[in-house]
Amino acid sequence: MNILIVEDEMLVAADLEATIEELGHTPIGIAADLETAVQFACDGVDLALVDLNLRDGETGPAVGRHLAAAGITVIFVTGNPRAIGLGIPSTLGIYIKPLNRAGVGSIIEYAAAARRKDPAPRVPSGLHLFENDAA
């Protein structure tokens, strides 16, 4: 999968990028704010892992809406899941930080299965799906 990382903490983003590569996927880039994330919307991105609080404020939900509208599967990754309420329409869900290799691998595989429309893939531990039209 081609994966966009939307995260303003560069150490977290770099670690996530390395993990994505180790798992055999392609990190398309790192976006630290809304403007940069929007620029990636047309670059063949399959999945975006989006933090809620970015360099330009709590713009993660807006990033998620924009990327989902472009046909990209969006999973929010945050330490503060309550900030997103019941979810953002057309996004898949939310994964609660901290991240680890196994967790990242499981959410990527779940997102890939959801994109393929596989019947009832197992929801990974730590991933909370939104009740909307994303899956």
From the first residue on, what is the mean pLDDT of each consecutive set of 10 residues in the chain (135 residues)? Answer: 96 96 96 94 90 94 94 91 79 91 95 88 88 56
Tally of domains in the chain = 1
Predicted pLDDT of residue 57: 92
Alpha helices in 23-93 (DSSP H): 34-39, 60-69
Predicted pLDDT of residue 50: 97
Predicted pLDDT of residue 43: 67
Residue 34 located in a structural domain:
yes
Pick from 95, 90, 6: which is nearest to 48 by CA?
Answer: 6
Residue 9 located in a structural domain:
no
Cα(104)–Cα(102) distance, integer angstroms: 6
Residue-range definition of the domain harbouring residue 129? 23-48+59-97+115-135
Residue 11 located in a structural domain:
no
- E strand map for the chain: 2-6, 26-31, 47-50, 73-78, 93-96, 127-129
Contact 131, 86 (CB under 8 A): yes
